[in-house]
Amino acid sequence: MSLFKLPVALWAVICCLPALAHGVPTKWASLHCPSNSADGLPTPTYGSEQIVFTVCAELNISAPLIDVYNAILDFQAYPSWNTFVFAVDLPSNVTTTPTDSYAGMPMTFHTAGVLPFFNTTSNEVLTMLDSTNLDGYSLSAWRYDNSLGGLGMRAEHPNVLVDVGGGATRYLSFETYYMGIETALVLLLKGNLQTAFEKQAADLKAYVEGS
């Protein structure tokens, strides 16, 4: 090692080892859909370990970030625009979304397009509502809730919004599936889920830009 490289190496150790030891915090605003679905994206609840695959959609919406954020959390309006999650059951004390949406809120999603001849339902829990933060992005997320406490399947769906200027918002919507006993089953549905995510993103863009 040359004399020049030594201080650089020392600096790298001092600066970066603590970060590695504690897991590098996710830079949400700089995430993009991976070109290979096996290169999964991390989620707020489950992180980046034991990822099996990620389905992902990304596009720009010509609307302010807060309008897109509110549309994503306005679950009562999903029947009017979302062809993938065509209805959402909410707790009885939640009367107006997005205002009443809260972290920990249980929801039942009614979904089309996951299986060929049937509509499906899934229980979800809203895990994250962060409308704007100092780094100029917003993050909301919900995770699949299974009664086996995550043994059957762990999956989480983050929505990352970034103001890209010119009145436009970049929308990154993905779901990462983790190791579990139901994972082999879900792996068979990966293509359908990817198509559904792309459809949902296009639906949201049309809805927000048209309203």
Decide whether 108 or 119 has the Cβ nearer to ligand NAG. 119
Tell me if 58 contacts ligand NAG by CB under 6 A: yes
Answer for which of 10, 16, 80, 102 binds ligand NAG (CB under 6 A) is 102
Contact 52, 175 (CB under 8 A): no
| CA-closest candidate to residue 54, choices 43, 66, 44 | 43
Tell me if 86 contacts ligand NAG by CB under 6 A: yes
Answer for which of 30, 80, 108, 119 binds ligand NAG (CB under 6 A) is 119
3-state class (DSSP) for residue 13: helix
What is the radius of gyration, based on Cα positions, of the chain? 19
Tell me if 2 contacts ligand NAG by CB under 6 A: no
Q: Which residues contact 172 (CB under 8 A, 6 or more apart)?
A: 31, 32, 33, 56, 57, 58, 158, 159, 160, 161, 162
Decide whether 78 or 178 has the Cβ nearer to ligand NAG. 78
Identify the helix (H) or strand (E) that includes residue 21.
helix 5-22
Letters for 8-47 (x = contact with ligand NAG by CB under 6 A, - = none) are: ----------------------------------------
Residues near ligand NAG (CB under 6 A) are 58-60, 86, 91, 93-94, 100, 102, 112, 117-119, 164, 168, 170
